[in-house]
Amino acid sequence: MIRIETGTPGVVLTLPAWLHPDVRPMPTDEERVRFVLALARRNIEEGGGPFAAAIFDERDGLVAAGANLVVPGGSSLLHAEVVAILAAQGRTGRYALRAGGRHQIVTSCDPCAMCLGAIHWAGLARLVTAAFSEDARAVGFDEGPVDDASFGYLERRGMTLRRGVLRKEGADLLEAYAAAGGVIYNG
């Protein structure tokens, strides 16, 4: 649940204890995507949506992990990418994660329109995804106005993209979630 307090400005986000993984180095995109897909599976088991994301620093490894907390958190803003960005910003103490172009976000699925905006504004240098937007749409999620032009905009702004890493595994996860009766909260 979202809690609003008066006083010192800031955001307080309490993450599930399991979302603080102690992990080994993951130097390849495939290893990072497997990690994020494992987080998404765990999130489903814990009552969340079928999406996860993580932010990595190219020199220091995992900075923060995020999972879709829309349903358990009671907020449409708590997409995995936004949660990961908030956690990374909290951990680094910076609202802009530009830091010499070292930070990247790895996601279980192409980001929706809101998350693409958040990724842009966070100043991430690279985006790596598993499932495509059409895989999420195929099970009923409404990704908003996301198309090739959306990703082209990020590239023109200097972001490097690699989409579809382990796409089948990402799409299979979405299909299994929907088949099991998972909540399609924005369809």
* Rounded CA separation 8/184 (Å): 35
Q: Point out the residues that are catalytic.
A: 81
Q: Are strands 103-109 and 52-57 parallel, antiparallel or unpaired?
A: antiparallel
Q: Which DSSP letter does residue 15 get? A: P
135 contacts 164 by C-beta, under 8 angstroms: no
CB count in 10 Å sphere of residue 152: 11
* Rounded CA separation 86/65 (Å): 10
* Rounded CA separation 22/3 (Å): 28
* Rounded CA separation 107/55 (Å): 9
* Rounded CA separation 125/158 (Å): 7
* Rounded CA separation 106/52 (Å): 9
Closest CA to 140 of 83, 82, 179, 110: 179
